[in-house]
Structure 1
């Protein structure tokens, strides 16, 4: 069996150069025999050439040879190691071009090649040196930045301590700090200042219109509104609701009347519906709809109350959380009694009495709740003690109002208090004539001189 017969042709890509190299020359034949079979078995992928063609390929390939990089995987970035591994290809091209035009001796070519390689090495050295310089500068900058940052932090701490010391000194001299008691978590001493700053901004946004009786309502008058509020005071006393529920009820009524026309036959329905919503918001156990229907002698049905509740909530976009006069009265009464050994209940009852009187009068919608609350405290202190000025630095600090800012409101409140004695709307007066409120409604109302402002 012949082994040479089973040998296949070598499978590789045939280019024009290989085809020209593999083409047999004229007058020469490839040697045949056992030696050829032995060569094919040793390396089947190489074609058998004669010496002439082989020499021609070698000489033609010398001009196309490129520079080869040595293995540099384990060479460190030292100066000597770069000299052994870099053989630039561009230098070879330049030397080959030069040799074509002007032949140079081999010693000169090697010297030029070495000088060019040394130039590349010098460039690499300068690049490495620049990188090292940048790294060193960056480290120095970071070091300096950390040092400066620590110094600034120490300076800022010292500055804060100095500011705090100055604030404490100013607090001791100018006004009394009513938020210094941090033991009671219910007082929110740490956040009280931010909370009331937010409320002061909110009272300017969520305000009913002060002229909706003239612009929106044609069937409802100011006196009708006063009668409704006076009756709601009795309802809140009947069901023992908290004061915030009454204030929020009046706020919801005014906000709805500012945006929606309503007939007088549905005014009482609006009143009990707003009290139902306020009770759900403020009370722990709100009265049921049936109880509010019963208090109106079943004038309105449950379905009518539910329907009105949806109208109110949709008209107000479910935004019925707003600061009222009661919200600020609590804060300002605490500031008014900052220097007292014990709280004055009479001052608190009198301030609450004056504040509830403003709910009946439609004209007090012109003033913001914080201004009304400050005026209430101002007049209550004056009614209880005319021997000293009712305003001090502590009240001015926490209310942000000077006496001159409260002049119009205090005078309007004083007139309302004087006319309340003869007013037919006596629900608030009867409430504060009780002994549990120390009968503050029966206190005389002295004149308010202009010198107080």
Structure 2
């Protein structure tokens, strides 16, 4: 290296980090130096080139840091709409919050970048206030319909201004209101068909909540369900003409009349008798049975019904004995397996007795003292139908309603038998019961001279108030 280069003054590198202000000041001094010294030596030129590169890199870093700071601040605004205490015009607060790591002085925001977050902040604050006015903790039935347009407009505003964190509670409220409307509509349809129980002339028979065995809270739902079940599991109405060739409706009547005597012999509950008849008809609806095995089917179905309904059911040997040992124990058990497999063990079937209990309760709602004769007479009329094959065309609920209708008319012809309360709980009108009531009255009067008298003899006893001897003073056809 020559002597001139060794003696030339060195340009020292700055010991501190160059900021944009220092870089600008350094640039001005370099211009003065270049104007005063037109000839720059080689060592000085190299130092100036290095310093200019550092200035450019520092300016880029400062601009990047400033941009990142603005973006971070904007994300913070979208995340928390309630943060309205920050003065966004003072950028030094953001720099002080971030810390002195970069030592970069952030310039104030342009006016356009400042107005957009401010507008978003104001809109979201208003939306949050509107949302807070709607009490989410209230029950859904208290959500008024007039609030739905407000919720819809809030959702529209949130979608436009990026309030994704508020969309979930607003959408939940709208969905809850929409789910409530179909349920309310379905309830109105049911009340329109059955009649409103809030009317003054309709008595609420489920108001007795003190008796846990009455299941008063669940009674409406239970009977709504069994009204569907009685249609699904009803026997065929024409299986004698369609399938059975060896047995006749009179044979079926003789079998059931004999089973009534068997139930009286073993003191079985009425539900067992009704279920026995239902199982017989459902099996005969799809299976061909010879007349030699008809009695075997009858005692087997009564054995199954006894196991289902009775606390202590008669043994298989007792049913064999009641048939004078016509069938062995093995034959009864084999038939039991065949019937249960065919029915897929579906023994929970609503019968006429199931509906009769509720309809009698509704019929006596207007009485100050329960009428025992009404209950016995309705049960007597309902049991008369199980012997007749022609009554299979009527649903169990129709037969029960008709029995209560005719029983009220037999005891008292001064009032209409179908009261508003009874019409509400049966869901049948007078015109809908005309055919079944007239047919039931013919059974009561025994106009056809039927010789099957097991049920009639049963209800002639004094324990049933001898209701089998009662007849209406006036024919029921005058009501239709």
Same fold (TM over 0.5): yes
The residue correspondences of 1:188-267 to structure 2 (distance < 5 A) are 188-267=215-294
Shift of 1:343: 1.1
Matched, 1:291 2:235: no
Which position in structure 2 is the counterpart of 1:185?
212
RMSD: 2.7
In the alignment of these two chains, the number of paired residues is 348
Counterparts of 2:478 and 2:268 in 1: how far apart (Å)?
40
Counterparts of 2:144 and 2:135 in 1: how far apart (Å)?
14
User: Does the 8 Å contact 1:420/1:426 carry over to 2?
Assistant: no
Which position in structure 1 is the counterpart of 2:363?
336
Which one of 359, 366, 391 corresponds to residue 386 of structure 2? 359
Counterparts of 2:447 and 2:313 in 1: how far apart (Å)?
31
The residue correspondences of 1:9-408 to structure 2 (distance < 5 A) are 105-137=49-81, 145=131, 147-150=133-136, 153=139, 156=142, 171-408=198-435
- More displaced 10-residue stretch of structure 1: 378-387 or 313-322: 313-322
User: Does the 8 Å contact 1:293/1:300 carry over to 2?
Assistant: yes
Counterparts of 2:464 and 2:447 in 1: how far apart (Å)?
17
| Deviation digits for residues 263-298 of structure 1 (CA, Å, limit 9, x no counterpart) | 000000000000000000000000001111111111
User: Does the 8 Å contact 1:213/1:221 carry over to 2?
Assistant: yes
Shift of 1:218: 0.5
Counterparts of 2:365 and 2:240 in 1: how far apart (Å)?
41
Is the partner of 1:105 in helix, strand or coil? helix
Shift of 1:417: 1.5
Shift of 1:392: 1.2
Is the partner of 1:303 in helix, strand or coil? helix
Shift of 1:397: 0.9
User: Does the 8 Å contact 1:178/1:334 carry over to 2?
Assistant: yes
Counterparts of 1:391 and 1:125 in 2: how far apart (Å)?
82
Counterparts of 2:207 and 2:468 in 1: how far apart (Å)?
34
5+ residue gaps, structure 1: 1-79, 81-102
CA change 1:318–1:449 in 2 (3 A) is closer
Shift of 1:106: 3.4
User: Does the 8 Å contact 1:249/1:274 carry over to 2?
Assistant: yes
Is the partner of 1:176 in helix, strand or coil? coil
Is the partner of 2:324 in helix, strand or coil? coil
Shift of 1:150: 3.0
Shift of 1:449: 4.6
5+ residue gaps, structure 2: 1-18, 20-46, 84-124, 146-179
Which position in structure 1 is the counterpart of 2:465?
438
Shift of 1:134: 1.6
CA change 1:419–1:138 in 2 (3 A) is farther
Bigger CA radius of gyration: 1
Counterparts of 1:218 and 1:398 in 2: how far apart (Å)?
41
Is the partner of 2:285 in helix, strand or coil? helix
